[in-house]
Amino acid sequence: MQSTKLNAQITAVGMYVPDKVLDNKYFEEIVETNDEWIVSRTGIKERRKMENGATSDMAANAILDLLKTTSVKAEEIDVIIVATVTPDMFFPATACLVQDKIGAKNAWGFDLSAACSGFLFALQTGAALIESGRYKKVIVVGSDKMTAISDYTDRNTCILFGDAASAILLEPTEDLSYGLIDTLLYTDGSGKDALNMKGGGSLNPSSHETVDNKMHYIYQDGKAVFKVAVKGMADISYEVMKKNNLESDDIAYLVPHQANLRIIDATANRMGIEKEKVMINIHKYGNTTAATIPSCLTEYYRAGKLKKGDNLILAAFGAGYTWGAAYVKWSLD
């Protein structure tokens, strides 16, 4: 017997950002930089810092925020996927810690590592579990405590990143015109040298030497990443739009990963999408890695700017390299 075809749709959203704000003035005092440079080159004005607690605490808070908005109970969650590059520990998985913290006692889960593309990779993975018909309630949460791996003596990177978490709930729909309609995802490991954290893994186990050589911090060749990120994100967004016969007028919002306002502008230009139709929160939070896209969705939805049936193009580029774009038809009123 042929089983019913299902799509995965987003039925609830939530987010968490820590209270502590690091504005550009803060960085003027610790490295050679200034507010004007940071705003004009990146679009970032502030970012948040998690002072007490880890990635799992932010993820749990984001999911609890989501659960407040739905009748779904923690015990009903089937799967928790945590997209992160800043897990609490190598093991157990952050998903286990989150499962315990929210009391999702019937869930299994795992972490997914795809850096700034983590949310999109996890969205596709969660959607596949729903589409299989086997799971009914999948939480995808992007959570990153980037301040834990930022070198506050390196002006090239420390100004860029912040801490946040944001979650979505995926549930099945038989109406195949809603939910996650299409995704294009890629990896290219030849980009590994441009953006990474070298220390602490099996290649360079933690030692005094790895600490002395600052190998437990983010390393980024900003210029190299900028060039490929602009092309990667713009091309893939255009590709997913064309593949689904969408014109720019058909799109309610571009929801881009928030790494740099100039990368976002280039992507919107390539798609022919005007500024008002681009979700932005980089000025408030900086680059929060796996949390950027769902936090944009949460904030714009809560501001009443999204309506059922809106066509959204989600797009990201990150370390790996990893990149991708997704076409989502919004399901919430």
Residues between 38 and 67 that touch ligand COA (CB under 6 A): 38, 41-42
286 binds ligand COA (CB under 6 A): no
Write phi, then psi, for 122 (nearest 5 degrees): -70, -35
**Active site annotation includes 61:** no
194 binds ligand COA (CB under 6 A): no
Q: Is 88 helix (H, G, I), strand (E, B) or coil?
A: coil
**Active site annotation includes 116:** yes
Q: Kindly state the greatest CA–CA separation across the chain.
A: 67
How many residues bind ligand COA (CB under 6 A)? The answer is 20
317 binds ligand COA (CB under 6 A): yes
In contact, 182 and 305? CB cutoff 8 Å: no
What string of DSSP letters covers 264-287?
Answer: HHHHHHHHT--GGGB---HHHH-B
Q: Active site residue: 24, 61, 116, 281, which one?
A: 116
37 binds ligand COA (CB under 6 A): yes
**Active site annotation includes 158:** no
264 binds ligand COA (CB under 6 A): no
29 binds ligand COA (CB under 6 A): no
Cβ closest to ligand COA, residue 101 vs residue 283: 283
Q: 193: buried, middle or exposed (CB in 10 Å: 19+, 13-18, 0-12)? A: exposed
Identify the residue among 96, 104, 225, 268 touching ligand COA (CB under 6 A): 225
> Which two three-digit tokens encode residue 322?
């990893």
259 binds ligand COA (CB under 6 A): yes
| Span of 55-63, 97-105, 200-208, 224-232 interacting with ligand COA by CB under 6 A | 224-232
Q: Is 261 helix (H, G, I), strand (E, B) or coil?
A: helix
Other C-beta atoms lying within 10 Å of the C-beta of residue 52: 7
Cβ closest to ligand COA, residue 69 vs residue 187: 187
116 binds ligand COA (CB under 6 A): yes
Write phi, then psi, for 305 (nearest 5 degrees): -95, -5
- Which residues are marked as active site? 116, 257, 287
